[in-house]
Amino acid sequence: MQQMGIRARLKEDIASIYHRDPAANSAFEILTNYPGMQAIWLHRISHKLWCRNWRLSARLLSTFSRWATGVEIHPGARIGRRFFIDHGMGVVIGETAEIGDDVTLYHGVTLGGTSWNAGKRHPTLHNNVVVGAGAKILGPLEIGEGARVGSNSVVVKPVEPGNTVTGIPARTVISKAEREKEHRRTHLAKKYGFDAYAVSPDNPDPVASAIGSMLDHMHLIDARMSEICQALKEQGCSVEISQLPELNVTAFVDAEQEAADSRRKEHERFDPGI
Ligand SMILES: CC(C)(COP(=O)(O)OP(=O)(O)OC[C@H]1O[C@@H](n2cnc3c(N)ncnc32)[C@H](O)[C@@H]1OP(=O)(O)O)[C@@H](O)C(=O)NCCC(=O)NCCS
Protein backbone atom coordinates (compact mmCIF):
# COMPACT_ATOMS: atom_id res chain seq x y z
CA MET A 1 0.00 0.00 0.00
CA GLN A 2 1.19 3.48 -0.85
CA GLN A 3 2.75 5.20 2.15
CA MET A 4 0.98 8.41 3.15
CA GLY A 5 1.52 10.92 5.91
CA ILE A 6 -0.91 10.93 8.85
CA ARG A 7 -2.28 14.33 7.82
CA ALA A 8 -2.95 13.24 4.25
CA ARG A 9 -4.56 10.02 5.47
CA LEU A 10 -6.78 11.94 7.89
CA LYS A 11 -7.83 14.34 5.15
CA GLU A 12 -8.61 11.43 2.86
CA ASP A 13 -10.76 9.76 5.55
CA ILE A 14 -12.65 12.97 6.29
CA ALA A 15 -13.27 13.55 2.58
CA SER A 16 -14.55 10.00 2.14
CA ILE A 17 -17.01 10.45 5.03
CA TYR A 18 -18.25 13.75 3.55
CA HIS A 19 -18.74 11.92 0.30
CA ARG A 20 -20.71 9.04 1.84
CA ASP A 21 -22.68 10.69 4.66
CA PRO A 22 -24.88 13.67 3.76
CA ALA A 23 -25.36 14.32 7.50
CA ALA A 24 -21.68 15.30 7.97
CA ASN A 25 -21.20 19.06 8.41
CA SER A 26 -17.58 19.74 9.27
CA ALA A 27 -14.20 18.08 9.68
CA PHE A 28 -14.31 18.78 13.42
CA GLU A 29 -17.71 17.11 13.70
CA ILE A 30 -16.38 14.06 11.85
CA LEU A 31 -13.31 13.81 14.07
CA THR A 32 -15.28 14.07 17.29
CA ASN A 33 -18.63 12.40 16.52
CA TYR A 34 -17.90 9.48 14.22
CA PRO A 35 -17.01 6.43 16.34
CA GLY A 36 -16.34 4.47 13.15
CA MET A 37 -13.57 6.90 12.24
CA GLN A 38 -12.07 6.79 15.73
CA ALA A 39 -12.19 2.98 15.72
CA ILE A 40 -10.34 2.83 12.39
CA TRP A 41 -7.57 5.10 13.63
CA LEU A 42 -7.18 3.11 16.85
CA HIS A 43 -7.16 -0.06 14.74
CA ARG A 44 -4.34 1.30 12.59
CA ILE A 45 -2.22 1.66 15.72
CA SER A 46 -3.22 -1.71 17.18
CA HIS A 47 -2.57 -3.40 13.81
CA LYS A 48 0.94 -1.93 13.75
CA LEU A 49 1.55 -3.27 17.26
CA TRP A 50 0.15 -6.67 16.22
CA CYS A 51 2.43 -6.85 13.17
CA ARG A 52 5.43 -6.07 15.41
CA ASN A 53 4.41 -8.95 17.65
CA TRP A 54 3.31 -6.72 20.54
CA ARG A 55 0.20 -8.86 20.67
CA LEU A 56 -1.02 -8.10 24.19
CA SER A 57 -0.66 -4.31 23.76
CA ALA A 58 -2.48 -4.61 20.46
CA ARG A 59 -5.35 -6.55 22.07
CA LEU A 60 -5.53 -4.10 24.99
CA LEU A 61 -5.77 -1.17 22.61
CA SER A 62 -8.46 -2.85 20.51
CA THR A 63 -10.45 -3.68 23.65
CA PHE A 64 -10.18 -0.04 24.73
CA SER A 65 -11.37 0.97 21.26
CA ARG A 66 -14.34 -1.41 21.55
CA TRP A 67 -15.25 0.13 24.93
CA ALA A 68 -14.92 3.67 23.60
CA THR A 69 -16.55 3.26 20.19
CA GLY A 70 -18.68 0.10 20.25
CA VAL A 71 -16.70 -1.21 17.27
CA GLU A 72 -14.64 -4.36 17.75
CA ILE A 73 -11.87 -4.81 15.21
CA HIS A 74 -9.34 -7.53 15.88
CA PRO A 75 -5.83 -6.05 15.57
CA GLY A 76 -4.94 -8.74 13.03
CA ALA A 77 -7.61 -7.61 10.53
CA ARG A 78 -6.21 -6.00 7.38
CA ILE A 79 -8.08 -2.91 6.24
CA GLY A 80 -7.60 -0.74 3.15
CA ARG A 81 -7.99 2.98 2.61
CA ARG A 82 -11.07 5.17 3.03
CA PHE A 83 -12.87 2.53 5.08
CA PHE A 84 -16.07 3.97 6.55
CA ILE A 85 -18.13 2.49 9.38
CA ASP A 86 -21.32 4.53 9.64
CA HIS A 87 -22.78 4.81 13.16
CA GLY A 88 -20.33 2.19 14.38
CA MET A 89 -22.05 0.48 17.27
CA GLY A 90 -22.07 -3.32 17.22
CA VAL A 91 -19.60 -3.89 14.37
CA VAL A 92 -17.36 -6.94 14.82
CA ILE A 93 -14.45 -7.63 12.48
CA GLY A 94 -12.55 -10.88 12.97
CA GLU A 95 -8.83 -11.54 13.04
CA THR A 96 -8.34 -12.85 9.51
CA ALA A 97 -10.80 -10.49 7.81
CA GLU A 98 -9.44 -8.51 4.87
CA ILE A 99 -11.05 -5.31 3.65
CA GLY A 100 -10.16 -3.47 0.43
CA ASP A 101 -10.38 0.24 -0.34
CA ASP A 102 -13.54 2.38 -0.18
CA VAL A 103 -15.56 -0.20 1.71
CA THR A 104 -18.59 0.95 3.75
CA LEU A 105 -20.11 -0.91 6.70
CA TYR A 106 -23.13 0.18 8.68
CA HIS A 107 -23.75 -0.56 12.34
CA GLY A 108 -24.27 -4.11 13.57
CA VAL A 109 -22.22 -5.77 10.82
CA THR A 110 -20.29 -8.93 11.69
CA LEU A 111 -17.42 -10.20 9.58
CA GLY A 112 -17.16 -13.43 11.48
CA GLY A 113 -15.83 -16.97 11.33
CA THR A 114 -17.64 -20.29 11.43
CA SER A 115 -14.72 -22.44 12.45
CA TRP A 116 -12.61 -22.76 15.59
CA ASN A 117 -9.58 -23.80 13.58
CA ALA A 118 -6.76 -21.29 13.22
CA GLY A 119 -6.02 -19.92 9.75
CA LYS A 120 -8.13 -17.87 7.37
CA ARG A 121 -11.68 -18.04 8.72
CA HIS A 122 -13.13 -14.57 8.16
CA PRO A 123 -14.40 -12.88 4.98
CA THR A 124 -12.49 -10.88 2.39
CA LEU A 125 -14.28 -7.76 1.15
CA HIS A 126 -12.93 -6.36 -2.10
CA ASN A 127 -12.92 -2.66 -3.04
CA ASN A 128 -16.15 -0.64 -2.96
CA VAL A 129 -18.25 -3.21 -1.12
CA VAL A 130 -21.21 -1.87 0.91
CA VAL A 131 -22.61 -3.93 3.78
CA GLY A 132 -26.00 -2.86 5.18
CA ALA A 133 -26.87 -2.49 8.85
CA GLY A 134 -27.00 -5.72 10.84
CA ALA A 135 -25.68 -7.96 8.04
CA LYS A 136 -23.55 -10.95 8.98
CA ILE A 137 -20.91 -12.33 6.63
CA LEU A 138 -19.69 -15.65 7.94
CA GLY A 139 -16.68 -17.68 6.90
CA PRO A 140 -13.68 -17.12 4.63
CA LEU A 141 -15.85 -15.87 1.75
CA GLU A 142 -14.91 -13.45 -1.00
CA ILE A 143 -17.28 -10.54 -1.47
CA GLY A 144 -16.46 -9.27 -4.96
CA GLU A 145 -15.66 -5.70 -5.91
CA GLY A 146 -18.63 -3.33 -5.82
CA ALA A 147 -20.97 -5.93 -4.32
CA ARG A 148 -23.74 -4.81 -1.94
CA VAL A 149 -25.13 -6.74 0.99
CA GLY A 150 -28.64 -5.84 2.16
CA SER A 151 -29.27 -4.92 5.76
CA ASN A 152 -29.84 -7.87 8.12
CA SER A 153 -28.74 -10.41 5.52
CA VAL A 154 -26.72 -13.45 6.49
CA VAL A 155 -24.12 -14.18 3.81
CA VAL A 156 -22.74 -17.71 3.79
CA LYS A 157 -21.64 -18.00 0.15
CA PRO A 158 -19.24 -15.89 -1.92
CA VAL A 159 -20.75 -12.88 -3.72
CA GLU A 160 -19.81 -12.11 -7.34
CA PRO A 161 -18.43 -8.63 -8.10
CA GLY A 162 -21.16 -6.02 -8.59
CA ASN A 163 -24.00 -8.22 -7.32
CA THR A 164 -26.52 -7.22 -4.65
CA VAL A 165 -27.50 -9.92 -2.15
CA THR A 166 -30.19 -9.89 0.51
CA GLY A 167 -32.01 -12.23 2.89
CA ILE A 168 -31.21 -15.21 5.10
CA PRO A 169 -29.33 -16.97 3.63
CA ALA A 170 -28.42 -14.13 1.27
CA ARG A 171 -29.26 -14.60 -2.41
CA THR A 172 -28.56 -12.43 -5.42
CA VAL A 173 -31.37 -9.95 -6.06
CA ILE A 174 -29.57 -7.78 -8.60
CA SER A 175 -26.67 -9.05 -10.67
CA LYS A 176 -24.05 -6.81 -12.24
CA ALA A 177 -25.30 -7.79 -15.71
CA GLU A 178 -28.87 -6.80 -14.80
CA ARG A 179 -27.69 -3.48 -13.42
CA GLU A 180 -25.78 -2.78 -16.63
CA LYS A 181 -28.84 -3.73 -18.67
CA GLU A 182 -30.93 -1.39 -16.56
CA HIS A 183 -28.46 1.45 -17.19
CA ARG A 184 -28.62 0.79 -20.92
CA ARG A 185 -32.43 0.79 -20.79
CA THR A 186 -32.50 4.11 -18.96
CA HIS A 187 -30.04 5.50 -21.47
CA LEU A 188 -32.22 4.27 -24.36
CA ALA A 189 -35.39 5.55 -22.74
CA LYS A 190 -33.77 8.98 -22.45
CA LYS A 191 -32.47 8.85 -26.00
CA TYR A 192 -35.77 7.85 -27.60
CA GLY A 193 -37.99 9.69 -25.17
CA PHE A 194 -39.82 6.63 -23.80
CA ASP A 195 -39.18 3.31 -22.13
CA ALA A 196 -39.61 0.82 -24.93
CA TYR A 197 -39.68 -2.07 -22.46
CA ALA A 198 -42.79 -1.15 -20.57
CA VAL A 199 -44.37 2.28 -20.71
CA SER A 200 -46.63 1.20 -17.91
CA PRO A 201 -44.88 -1.34 -15.67
CA ASP A 202 -48.25 -2.76 -14.53
CA ASN A 203 -49.42 -3.29 -18.06
CA PRO A 204 -46.44 -3.85 -20.33
CA ASP A 205 -46.85 -4.07 -24.08
CA PRO A 206 -45.15 -7.19 -25.51
CA VAL A 207 -44.57 -5.48 -28.88
CA ALA A 208 -42.89 -2.50 -27.21
CA SER A 209 -40.84 -4.88 -25.08
CA ALA A 210 -39.70 -6.81 -28.17
CA ILE A 211 -38.76 -3.62 -29.99
CA GLY A 212 -37.03 -2.39 -26.87
CA SER A 213 -34.96 -5.58 -26.74
CA MET A 214 -34.01 -5.16 -30.40
CA LEU A 215 -33.01 -1.53 -29.86
CA ASP A 216 -30.98 -2.61 -26.88
CA HIS A 217 -29.30 -5.30 -28.94
CA MET A 218 -28.55 -2.89 -31.80
CA HIS A 219 -27.11 -0.43 -29.32
CA LEU A 220 -24.72 -3.14 -28.10
CA ILE A 221 -23.75 -4.10 -31.64
CA ASP A 222 -23.12 -0.41 -32.51
CA ALA A 223 -20.85 -0.08 -29.50
CA ARG A 224 -19.02 -3.34 -30.36
CA MET A 225 -18.63 -2.24 -34.02
CA SER A 226 -17.04 1.06 -33.06
CA GLU A 227 -14.66 -0.74 -30.69
CA ILE A 228 -13.63 -3.12 -33.51
CA CYS A 229 -13.19 -0.23 -36.00
CA GLN A 230 -11.12 1.67 -33.45
CA ALA A 231 -8.92 -1.41 -32.82
CA LEU A 232 -8.48 -1.98 -36.58
CA LYS A 233 -7.55 1.65 -37.09
CA GLU A 234 -4.96 1.40 -34.34
CA GLN A 235 -3.48 -1.61 -36.20
CA GLY A 236 -3.04 0.58 -39.29
CA CYS A 237 -6.11 -0.54 -41.28
CA SER A 238 -7.95 2.11 -43.18
CA VAL A 239 -11.36 2.06 -41.54
CA GLU A 240 -13.71 4.95 -41.53
CA ILE A 241 -14.85 5.74 -38.00
CA SER A 242 -17.95 7.79 -38.30
CA GLN A 243 -21.11 8.00 -36.22
CA LEU A 244 -23.77 5.57 -37.41
CA PRO A 245 -27.01 7.27 -38.44
CA GLU A 246 -29.47 7.78 -35.60
CA LEU A 247 -32.38 5.33 -35.40
CA ASN A 248 -35.54 7.26 -36.05
CA VAL A 249 -38.35 5.65 -34.08
CA THR A 250 -40.47 8.75 -33.45
CA ALA A 251 -43.62 7.38 -35.13
CA PHE A 252 -43.40 4.19 -33.08
CA VAL A 253 -42.69 6.16 -29.91
CA ASP A 254 -45.77 8.36 -30.43
CA ALA A 255 -48.02 5.41 -31.25
CA GLU A 256 -46.75 3.43 -28.24
CA GLN A 257 -47.12 6.44 -25.94
CA GLU A 258 -50.73 6.84 -27.09
CA ALA A 259 -51.43 3.14 -26.61
CA ALA A 260 -49.85 3.22 -23.15
CA ASP A 261 -51.95 6.25 -22.17
CA SER A 262 -55.11 4.54 -23.29
CA ARG A 263 -54.14 1.33 -21.45
CA ARG A 264 -53.52 3.37 -18.31
CA LYS A 265 -56.90 5.16 -18.61
CA GLU A 266 -58.63 1.84 -19.18
CA HIS A 267 -56.92 0.48 -16.08
CA GLU A 268 -57.96 3.50 -13.96
CA ARG A 269 -61.57 3.28 -15.22
CA PHE A 270 -61.86 -0.36 -14.11
CA ASP A 271 -64.09 -0.59 -11.06
CA PRO A 272 -63.90 -4.01 -9.36
CA GLY A 273 -67.05 -3.11 -7.30
CA ILE A 274 -69.38 -3.33 -10.33
C1 LIG B 1 -29.50 -4.21 -0.54
C2 LIG B 1 -29.57 -2.76 -0.96
C3 LIG B 1 -28.14 -2.23 -1.13
C4 LIG B 1 -30.34 -2.76 -2.29
O5 LIG B 1 -30.58 -1.47 -2.74
P6 LIG B 1 -31.12 -1.18 -4.24
O7 LIG B 1 -30.08 -1.50 -5.22
O8 LIG B 1 -31.69 0.18 -4.23
O9 LIG B 1 -32.20 -2.29 -4.49
P10 LIG B 1 -33.76 -2.24 -4.24
O11 LIG B 1 -34.11 -1.38 -3.07
O12 LIG B 1 -34.39 -1.94 -5.57
O13 LIG B 1 -34.06 -3.75 -3.83
C14 LIG B 1 -33.97 -4.82 -4.74
C15 LIG B 1 -34.82 -5.95 -4.17
O16 LIG B 1 -34.24 -6.42 -2.93
C17 LIG B 1 -35.17 -6.30 -1.86
N18 LIG B 1 -34.39 -5.85 -0.70
C19 LIG B 1 -33.66 -4.73 -0.59
N20 LIG B 1 -33.05 -4.70 0.61
C21 LIG B 1 -33.40 -5.84 1.26
C22 LIG B 1 -33.06 -6.39 2.52
N23 LIG B 1 -32.22 -5.75 3.33
N24 LIG B 1 -33.58 -7.58 2.86
C25 LIG B 1 -34.43 -8.25 2.02
N26 LIG B 1 -34.77 -7.78 0.79
C27 LIG B 1 -34.27 -6.59 0.42
C28 LIG B 1 -36.17 -5.25 -2.33
O29 LIG B 1 -37.43 -5.42 -1.71
C30 LIG B 1 -36.22 -5.53 -3.80
O31 LIG B 1 -37.01 -6.69 -4.02
P32 LIG B 1 -38.03 -6.76 -5.27
O33 LIG B 1 -37.15 -6.68 -6.49
O34 LIG B 1 -38.69 -8.09 -5.11
O35 LIG B 1 -38.92 -5.59 -5.13
C36 LIG B 1 -30.30 -1.89 0.10
O37 LIG B 1 -31.64 -2.24 0.16
C38 LIG B 1 -29.72 -2.03 1.52
O39 LIG B 1 -30.11 -2.87 2.30
N40 LIG B 1 -28.77 -1.09 1.84
C41 LIG B 1 -28.20 -0.98 3.14
C42 LIG B 1 -28.63 0.33 3.73
C43 LIG B 1 -28.42 0.42 5.23
O44 LIG B 1 -28.09 -0.52 5.91
N45 LIG B 1 -28.63 1.59 5.74
C46 LIG B 1 -28.46 1.86 7.10
C47 LIG B 1 -28.44 3.33 7.29
S48 LIG B 1 -28.36 3.73 8.97
DSSP for 190-258? HHHTS-TT-SSTTS--HHHHHHHHHHHHHHHHHHHHHHHHHHHHHTT------PPPPP--HHHHHHHHH
Cα-to-centroid distance, 148 and ligand 1 (Å): 9
Residue 229 lies in a domain: yes
For the chain, 274 residues long, give each residue's pLDDT as a single digit of tens.
456 788 899 999 999 998 899 999 999 999 999 999 999 999 999 999 999 999 999 999 999 999 999 999 999 999 999 999 999 899 999 999 999 999 999 999 999 999 888 899 999 999 999 999 999 999 999 999 999 999 999 999 999 999 999 999 999 998 878 777 777 767 766 665 555 554 555 556 677 777 777 877 887 888 888 889 888 888 888 877 776 776 667 777 777 777 777 877 777 777 766 5
Domain end, chosen from 174, 209, 227, is at: 174
Task: Residue 220: give the domain boundaries.
Answer: 178-269
| pLDDT at residue 274, as a whole number | 55
Cα-to-centroid distance, 129 and ligand 1 (Å): 14
| pLDDT at residue 33, as a whole number | 93
Shared-domain flag, residues 142 and 231: no
Q: Is 174 in the pocket of ligand 1 (CB under 6 A)?
A: yes
Q: Probe ligand 1: pick from 164, 175, 179, max atoms within 8 Å of CB?
A: 164
Q: Which atom of ligand 1 is nearest to the CA of 87?
A: 48
Shared-domain flag, residues 166 and 224: no
pTM of the model: 0.73
Domain end, chosen from 174, 209, 235, is at: 174
Domain end, chosen from 174, 209, 240, is at: 174
Q: Probe ligand 1: pick from 17, 34, 173, 183, max atoms within 8 Å of CB?
A: 173
Shared-domain flag, residues 221 and 121: no
Q: Is 259 in the pocket of ligand 1 (CB under 6 A)?
A: no
Q: Is 156 in the pocket of ligand 1 (CB under 6 A)?
A: no
| pLDDT at residue 1, as a whole number | 46
Shared-domain flag, residues 109 and 136: yes
Residue 1 lies in a domain: no
Shared-domain flag, residues 139 and 204: no
Shared-domain flag, residues 153 and 167: yes
Cα-to-centroid distance, 243 and ligand 1 (Å): 39
Q: Is 152 in the pocket of ligand 1 (CB under 6 A)?
A: yes
Q: Is 132 in the pocket of ligand 1 (CB under 6 A)?
A: yes
Checking 59-66 for CB contacts under 8 A at 24+ apart, the result is 65/38, 65/39
| pLDDT at residue 239, as a whole number | 79
Shared-domain flag, residues 26 and 110: yes
Cross-strand bridge partners of residue 136: 110, 154
Q: Which atom of ligand 1 is nearest to the CA of 152?
A: 23
Is residue 138 within 8 Å of 154, Cβ to Cβ?
Answer: yes
Shared-domain flag, residues 15 and 93: yes
- Total count of domains within the chain: 2
Cα-to-centroid distance, 112 and ligand 1 (Å): 22
